[in-house]
Structure 1
């Protein structure tokens, strides 16, 4: 795959620009829970970058009062704010917006829970930063929210994409590539589901560290494959993809656990999030292969140059391993 050299270099440059963060800057998360009629507890998780917390704030209609109840707490990738919300009227049939969302370019997931069991989930985006809170929740709204979140998670989850890129590089035939991607999909769907449903769970930090190690391993396997040395991964990449896919599924579940699943629509939310992850993954694979086909035959790459990509993948993954071990 001569032209995959160019595609790989471009993608690695994108990863390098985000090297300090093994994962994407995840969406802001606003949780609103009714404590008593007309009174709500509000938790606001705002993503932070290396040197600052994003300047975004929830905004309610003028007949609501938002008061801070605790000092902000600094988490690994978030700043957590706690508020109490009181209103002269019902929160239903009112507008909620997130100020400055357009300027930051990130999304905000909104979770609203009422005493009577109603549960609302909305995804606000830079191009649509406000929502009208209806009297009844909708399965379609939940499905749309978690589908988009799943797609965004995989497309901005650079560690998962590096793993998939390495799988593409080591799968030399179409049939082998299809089997490999299918195996990876099945395995991470299994662990994502059982973890999200509470049947089992693994600590997030060790899982993320092993995920980074899996990328290092696969980068080494690609180098051996390029050098003409047969390995288990080059002969049966679907087996390795399935085994490591189980770990990646726990990683997806960790991201999902940060926002939770709506208690009244768990099957819909879980299924659409998982489907969104698969759609995003297929989109990534399709773009890589499509671009490769488009420029195939137009680029000449020397044998030593082909090693730049797996070395780049491995180097970035080693950085993540060290970073994540430090953070355990």
Structure 2
């Protein structure tokens, strides 16, 4: 059967003429097919190999068909290698995030808190709250005239360690005195200092690594309260990895600028409502249960991301703003739990609550802007990304959410 094939190709004049006449068209079709193969992968490439090797096609010789099929096999090998590389990268990301306590445990807001309460005779009750995960020692430094009256007593809780003791500052008030928190720069965190003066006024400020001390004023303005809690709100959302993953899932899930704006706005409204209700003690739920439900919302978004486009007819895509609002109600309880750790100034609760909420929204918008800019940059990169690369964020989000669901559910049942 090899002999008739050789005669058909080499001796029949009309097919050879057809081959020569159709050379330009063949080249154009070949270039188009090559671009299609790059875009669609090994399936299209295999189809080209089959067509090139078919007996009814005379325009390519058997040697040309063999060369193309060999190229296709190399493409398939590269595709399999890329798939394995992506899988390895995905596992590395998940394992790295799993080994980072701050990411896996997702404790968003963990500043230290120093509480000083003045009483008659210059005696100061001191309460020093530090996160249980603190590896760098933080130490409050009080005025030199303050002498320790009682030995410090520490109580370890689930997320914090609280140490209490009493000092005698010689009968004078702390107004005008300098208070320092050592170790803030080394740990890269903030510390909240709250001083309850004998006259009933409460002075509160946030100390940072670049400003670890302050002088106790006779009072504090509303703008200072607003600035402090605005910063705490930004810090909370930018270090709250579970909330950021949920926002990332919304950005990846919702298409179109208008729909995305409405969805993010609905999420903001949802968590603002429950943040205010929970902070003012109007509504109260178990923080552990809420944390588990928050993880469940993240997992639901991840599942929606990995579904095929033809199957994406769910309510989550038809009305993403409604879903974002409902899930935002749950996330608001998480924000309220974080705010409860640092407390609110008794005389400036509305200003502090509003500033904290504005800070959350500002940090959230910054994160969305970074995600959108990164996506635009990747799309502009002259690299043909494999189809599997689009699923990496969803798998990372889903893997961490599944871990949080299990971990937090066990914490509830314990």
Tell me the TM-score normalized by structure 2: 0.73
Deviation of the 1:44 alpha carbon: 0.7
- State the match for 1:41 in structure 2: 125
Q: Which residue of 1 aligns with 2:112?
A: 28
Q: Name the SS of the counterpart of 1:81 in structure 2.
A: strand
Larger radius of gyration: 2
Q: Tell me the CA shift for residue 53 of structure 1.
A: 4.8
When structure 1 is superposed on structure 2, of 229-238 and 268-277 the one drifting more is 229-238
Aligned residues: 320
Residue 114 (str. 1) matches residue 197 (str. 2): yes
Residue 59 of structure 1 is matched in structure 2 by 141
What are the Cα deviations for residues 186-210 of structure 1, in whole angstroms up to 9, with x where unaligned?
1100110111112111111100010
Residue 377 of structure 2 is aligned to residue 294 of structure 1: yes
- Given that 2:269 and 2:325 are in contact with CA atoms closer than 8 Å, whether structure 1 keeps it comes out as yes
Map of 2:184 onto structure 1: 101
1:213-253 per-position Cα deviation (integer Å, ceiling 9, x unaligned): 11111110111255653211122111110000000001100
**2:165 matches 1:83:** yes
C-alpha distance 294-12 of structure 1, shift in aligned 2 (>3 A): farther
Larger strand fraction of residues: 1
Cα distance, 1:14–1:96 mapped onto 2, change above 3 Å:
farther
Provide the rounded CA distance (Å) in 2 between the counterparts of 1:68 and 1:28: 22
Q: Closer, same or farther in 2 for the Cα pair 1:121/1:198, shift >3 Å? A: same
Please identify, of 192-201 and 225-234, the stretch whose mean Cα deviation from structure 2 is larger: 225-234
Residues 195 and 25 of structure 1: is their aligned pair in 2 closer, same or farther, counting only changes over 3 Å? Answer: closer
Q: In 1, Cα distance between the equivalents of 2:150 and 2:260?
A: 53
Instruction: For residue 254 of structure 1, give the secondary structure of its aligned residue in structure 2.
Output: helix
The DSSP-based 3-state class of the residue aligned with 1:222 is: helix
For 1:179, the equivalent position in structure 2 comes to 262
1:179/1:20 CA distance change after superposition, 3 Å: closer
TM-score (structure 1 length as normaliser)? 0.91
Contact 1:224 1:230 in 2 (8 A): no
Tell me how far 1:297 sits from its aligned partner.
Answer: 2.4
1:238 aligns with 2:321: yes
SS of equivalent residue, structure 1 residue 26: coil
Measured in 2, the distance between the counterparts of 1:197 and 1:25 equals 19
Match of 2:335 among 240, 246, 252: 252
Q: Which has the higher contact order (CA 8 A, sep 6+)?
A: 1
Aligned residues of 2:204 and 2:225 also touching (Cα < 8 A): yes
Deviations 1:100-147 (A, max 9, x none): 221111110111112322011110111110011111222122111100
Q: Any idea what the Cα deviations from partners look like across 1:75-103, whole Å, max 9, x if unmatched?
A: 11221100112202320101001012211
The 1:13/1:279 distance shift into structure 2, 3 A limit, reads farther
Partner of 2:30 in structure 1? none
Give the secondary-structure state (helix, strand or coil) at the position aligned to 2:106.
coil
Q: Which runs of 5+ in 2 are unaligned?
A: 1-85
Corresponding residue number in structure 1 for 2:409: 325
Q: 1:301 to 1:291 in 2, by over 3 A?
A: same
In structure 1, the gaps of 5 or more residues are none
4+ runs deviating over 6 angstroms: 8-14
Q: CA RMSD in A?
A: 2.2
User: By percentage of residues, which structure has more helix?
Assistant: 2
Matched residue SS, 1:72: strand
**Equivalent residues in 2 for 1:148-187 (5 A)?**
148-187=231-270
CA distance in 1 between partners of 2:95 and 2:221 (Å): 41
Q: Select between 224-233 and 183-192 the one with higher mean Cα deviation.
A: 224-233
SS at 1:84 equivalent: strand
Contact 2:118 2:173 in 1 (8 A): no
Aligned to 1:222: 305
Cross-structure match for 2:278:
195
